[in-house]
Amino acid sequence: MTGTATAAPLLDVRGLEKRFGGLVATDRVDLRVDGGEIHALIGPNGAGKTTLVAQLGGQLASDRGTIVFAGDDITAWPTHRRARHGLARSFQTTRLFRSASVIDNLALAVQAVTGSNLDAWRPARRDRALFERARELLDTLGLGAKAAHAIDQLSHGERRALEVGMTFASRPRLLLLDEPMAGMGRDESARMEALIGVVRTQCAVLLIEHDVDAVFRLADRVSVLVGGRVVASGTPGAVRSDPAVIAAYLGDDAGAA
Amino acid sequence: MAPIEAKPLGLRGALLLPLCALAIAIALPFVLRAFGLDFYLSLASRIVVYAIAATSLNLVLGYAGLVSFGHAAFFGLGAYVTAIMISEGVQSGPLHLAATIAVTALAALVIGAISLRTRGVYFIMITLAFAQMLFYLANSVKGYGGDEGLNIRARSLFSLGPYLLDLKNPLALYYVALAVLVIALVALARFAPSRFGRAVLALRDDDVRAEALGFPTYRYKLVVFVVAGALGGIAGALSVNLQGYVSPNALHWTQSGTLMVMVILGGVATVSGGLAGAAVLLLLQEVLATTTEHHEFWTGWVLLAVVLFARQGIVGLWTRRRAPSLS
């Protein structure tokens, strides 16, 4: 914003820690995500990816370290304030509003970050801006024909797409996508990949993903998390050939959890 | 524009039933008098008062999805505030109302601020514990009747210009309670499809998601809890005017249980669920009490039948199943 050539990173995480009793789930993690990039976070099961995402999203408080987002130290901010500041996240297990239709889910996501929500008298349906944005998202997600459908009428892939769409509704500056392709078939994965391609034109993405092939296709930079620590960070090519990564990542089954 | 959200609202159809019910409610005292059944006016008033209390609980339980097992705290507190003021010689209705709202809202703020940090079973237990604390407190305060309860001779007085509205008059009490109920139901009907109402329904569905989207869920729950507490308090104040008496039983957990039964019986998260539940339960008790000694046994069967066969309560029986929507 100030016009300096070397812009500050959008997300700057330093020395982040999280312990559960004796277990160190997040161990002095440093991570930076720049505006406009897709930064992928990979790592074997139990590496602490989901814990880290929860710390960034605000669902879990950090024991130590700082999270600076868009120039503000948000380490102690509650989740809803982070979201309103442009830091949105999706969930690994789909979390949608079951008693709402598809379009209402999206309208709620838009509503959460726009204007005051304390109006308890006028019907929200009169609020054109809410539903225009929701409809626009619906088309982006390819769910245009299913606006009035119930959540349980959607396929798994459609639900995952909606899950991502919900997070995207707020026009965030950074999107944390927690394993968006989990449990998907090849076709659905391809569609999700295309969706992430659309999303990236509008905001930065921190992509947590198991599907390593997709990660190397999509990501500008990759960080590898093992045992709560970032063991490597760089371009996909550099990370792929990093011997430490190969050892740690592939040695997961034999190595320590 | 695709006709997708064009949900047939049918305003005229939607308003027909409530307006008929209102007309019947307004005419009821005269009908009863015409048939020499004046005695039943107090039953009608009791239904209205409990409908207000059950509606306030439905806001918390149904709309916000918070299983509060201590709603009697606010009902009883409202009754005690008004009864104590009257026994101390304060007869002004507006003062009773103001004090009731202030005290019950404050109590709900404190109880809610603490309980809403917990969830699930812990929330149920902690709200129950707060209500029981007040129950034992009322039992121990001998100055205001202790475990014997508090009788009041006078009632709330409202002066409307040259007219004096004395809630000692059963007709006045009935209409004042009815007015409160109508205001509460209209407000609830407006609330559900409003921005705030939808946000509350969303956090009922999934508060982790709602929070992650940017809704300050804790604050919203607290607002709902406080509003419901104050409305429950008003119901309590009306109840003491109706009965001329309040005892610690108004704060007992069985009272909270009765209100929950009314909500579940009538219809969770439906505008008229509290009213339907209160009407059915109290009428059922009235009818069964005159025909059998074991009325609670039979009431239990009715509740069981409703829970098993009419998942959306009595109200759900005549509202056709609609496409899922928050509004």
Segment among A11-25, B251-265, B285-299 with least mean pLDDT? B285-299
Work out the minimum CA distance from A198 to partner chain B, whole angstroms: 20
Bridge partners of residue A32, in order along the sequence:
A12
Q: What ipTM does this complex have? A: 0.91
Cβ neighbours of A167 in B, within 8 Å: 212-213
Among A193, A204, A199, CA closest to A157: A193
Number of domains in chain B: 1
- Helices B295-309 and B273-291, axial angle in degrees (round to 10): 140
Nearest residue, CB atoms, A111 vs list B193, B198, B220: B198
Question: Residues A33-36: contacts with CB within 8 Å, 24+ apart?
Answer: A33/A9, A33/A174, A33/A204, A33/A206, A34/A7, A34/A9, A34/A10, A34/A204, A35/A7, A35/A9, A35/A10, A35/A173, A35/A204, A36/A200, A36/A204
**B2 in any annotated domain:** no
Query: Residue B125: is it exposed, middle or buried by C-beta count within 10 angstroms (0-12/13-18/19+)?
Result: middle
Work out the minimum CA distance from A118 to partner chain B, whole angstroms: 5
Query: Domain of B56?
Result: 22-250
Cβ neighbours of A81 in B, within 8 Å: 216
B104: how many CB neighbours lie within 10 A of its CB? 30
- pLDDT 10s per residue in chain A (257 long)? 444 445 789 999 999 999 999 899 999 999 999 999 999 999 888 889 999 999 999 999 999 999 999 999 999 999 999 999 999 999 999 999 999 999 999 999 999 998 889 999 999 988 888 999 999 999 999 999 999 999 999 999 999 999 999 999 889 999 999 999 888 888 999 999 999 999 999 999 999 987 788 888 999 999 999 999 999 999 998 988 888 888 876 554 433 33
CA B219 to chain centroid, in Å, comes to: 22
Q: Report CB contact under 8 Å: A147, B2.
A: yes
| C-alpha span between A25 and A6 (Å, rounded) | 32
Rounded (5°) CA angle B234-B240-B242: 105
**B323 in any annotated domain:** no
What CATH number belongs to A11-250? 3.40.50.300
Q: Report CB contact under 8 Å: A121, B215.
A: no
- Sheet architecture: strand order including A23-33: A23-33, A11-20, A64-69, A72-73
Tokens of B3: 């006709």
- pLDDT given at position B9: 43
**B268 in any annotated domain:** no
Q: Report CB contact under 8 Å: B194, A123.
A: yes
- φ/ψ of A96, rounded to 5, equals -125, 165
**B136 in any annotated domain:** yes
pTM recorded for the entire structure: 0.92
